[in-house]
Amino acid sequence: MKRRDWIKLSAITGIGLTFAQRTIARSVYHSFPQNELNSDDFGPNFIWGAACAAYQVEGAWNQDGKGKSIWDTFTHKRGNIHNNQNGDQACGFYHNYEEDIALAASLNLDVFRFSISWSRIFPSGEKTINPDGVQFYHNVINTCHSYNIEPWITLYHWDLPQALQDKGGWTNRDILKWFSQYVDFCTKEYGTKVKNWMVMNEPAAFVGLGYMLGYHAPGEKGPLNFLKASHHACLAMADGGRIIRTNVEGANVGTTFSCSHVDTHKGKPRHAKAVRRIDALVNRLYIEPSLGLGYPYDGFPALKKIENYFEEGDEERLIFDFDFIGLQNYFRIVGKKSVWPPLVWAKEVPAKKRDVPMNEMDFEVYPEGMYKILKQFAEYKQIKKIIVTENGVCYEDHLQDGKVHDSKRIQFYKDYLKNILKAKNEGVPVDGYLVWSLTDNFEWSEGYEPRFGLIYIDFATQKRYIKDSGLWFKKFLEK
Ligand code: NOJ
């Protein structure tokens, strides 16, 4: 036990100490800065890692037999992405994976989370397998193991094979069959080497942005698309969970959700109902069916229309008992009622209009939001364990003499981690933290400008530089 822990224990319990010794121990303990952050405080089983996603890092979009994904199509169309950028090359992870995994290990991380590109395995989405693509993920997994890093795999991080989108993608109920085939293949292929699986990444984001607002691939719009795709995503999530559990002995099965604490604009009661609708859409819609609670009609009655897409047995089929829930938090939402858009009748008051700290994407930096959303999720008694599978920040970075002095990012991590620790100490079952992201990468519609990495990438030369925030983590996690 470290000296600090010994003093803390003695100060709190007084075990084995006289009254005078106890008083001294307490005063010594309290003289330690109370806001000092120590990774040991999170407990010996807490998992520390970093995350990324196939399309955002791999590049090699058409190499070695890979098929097209909806993100290849979407980014190649002018006007969809900031500066018409695309992920054709991205971080070149397809070729540089060894270097990146070695860098993750050098930062003392235990876990590397990455996703599989469905169209690298099944170029046309189903049936025919691409052996080179299959081999690539074996190489990534083996490299993780060689560095003593635990691979955590996300099966779906938004890059649907284009061939399946041509048949309707997530709005076609056949997606359940296609997705099951893909999950079945991957978990049989890699399941002896990989135990930690996440079925999906943020269904609210890929359905909301991709099938309702048209801001992400495949660029579809409209409430009917949204309801259909949402229902199919929820079913596929539970189906995927069952397949992993069947195929992988000793699996740790999870899935991830984007979520944000929602506050009422200026605390005014007249916005309360609007805020409940936002909360239902953002935080409850995708998780509650899997917990056996059904869709959150109480928060958003118009959602009832989703039942138009139900088939017999769906209520049961939506339920799956995940081993862990991946919680991903980037900002808080402040909401108010509004005459637009219809059905929702609510809107967000953007951070820009609230004079609050923001990141480069105008997300509010609000560390207490992490604590509040963890507490909100801990209210679900069905959740056994929470892993923060993403949290991070994009600030403007400057590379000077091979260094990036990103002190604001370090402060961000300290503040968010303190809030996680506070929730944990109050009994929230949070057991891990994965930084978004290991390296700078392709930030979807925003292109390469927002940099989230612990490692800076010079995209022109593909050279990597560990930022000060990466070095901070290295020290923080030193054993
Ligand atoms: C969540 C998504 O999973 C990830 O792909 C994205 O880059 C981050 N949010 C940052 O916006």
Give me the CATH number covering residue 105: 3.20.20.80
pLDDT of residue 151: 99
CA distance 43 to 56: 32
Closest CA to 198 of 53, 46, 344: 53
Ligand 1: does its nearest atom lie under 6 Å from the Cβ of 439? no
Cα 126 versus chain centre, distance: 26
| 390 pocket-lining for ligand 1 (C-beta < 6 Å) | yes
- Please report, for residues 42, 359, 377, 397, 451, the alpha-carbon distance to residue 393 in angstroms, rounded to integers and kept in the order given: 21, 7, 22, 11, 8
* Distance set, CA 388 to CA 27, 217, 324, 326 (Å): 34, 25, 10, 6
Q: Annotated catalytic, 446?
A: no
pTM higher than the cut 0.85: yes
Q: Which of 58, 126, 202, 364 is catalytic?
A: 202
pLDDT at 36: 84
Question: For 257-329, where are the alpha helices, taking DSSP H only?
Answer: 272-279, 314-317
Measured from the CA of 394, which atom of ligand 1 is nearest?
10
Is residue 306 within 8 Å of residue 344, measured between CB atoms? Answer: no
Boundaries of domain holding 53: 3-476
State phi, psi for 289 to the nearest 5 degrees: -60, -40
**Three-class SS of residue 226?**
helix
Q: And the tokens for 103?
A: 């860098």
Does residue 202 line the site of ligand 1, with CB under 6 A?
yes
Please compute, for residue 297, the number of CA atoms within 13 A of its CA located in the half-sphere on the CB side.
8
- Tens place of pLDDT per residue across the chain (479 aa): 444 444 444 444 445 455 555 554 444 444 444 468 999 999 999 999 999 999 999 999 999 999 999 999 999 999 999 999 999 999 999 999 999 999 999 999 999 999 999 999 999 999 999 999 999 999 999 999 999 999 999 999 999 999 999 999 999 999 999 999 999 999 999 999 999 999 999 999 999 999 999 999 999 999 999 999 999 999 999 999 999 999 999 999 999 999 999 999 999 999 999 999 999 999 999 999 999 999 999 999 999 999 999 999 999 999 999 999 999 999 999 999 999 998 899 999 999 999 999 999 999 999 999 999 999 999 999 999 999 999 999 999 999 999 999 999 999 999 999 999 999 999 999 999 999 999 999 999 999 999 999 999 999 999 999 999 999 999 999 99
Active site residue 312: no
Cis status, amide bond into 223, omega within 30 of 0: no
Look at ligand 1, atom 10, and give the residue with the nearest C-alpha: 443
Residue with tokens 């993403």: 390
Q: How many helices (H) and strands (E) does the chain have?
A: 16, 13
Q: Which residues contact 342 (CB under 8 A, 6 or more apart)?
A: none
Residue 35 has a pLDDT of 60
- Strand-strand pairing, 150-156 and 111-115: parallel
3-class DSSP assignment, residue 214: coil
Torsion angles phi and psi, residue 51, rounded to 5:
-125, 160
pLDDT at res. 30: 42
Nearest to 202 by CA among 151, 251, 247, 260: 260
Amino acid making up residue 132: D
Residue 371: per-residue pLDDT: 98
> How many folded domains does the chain comprise?
1
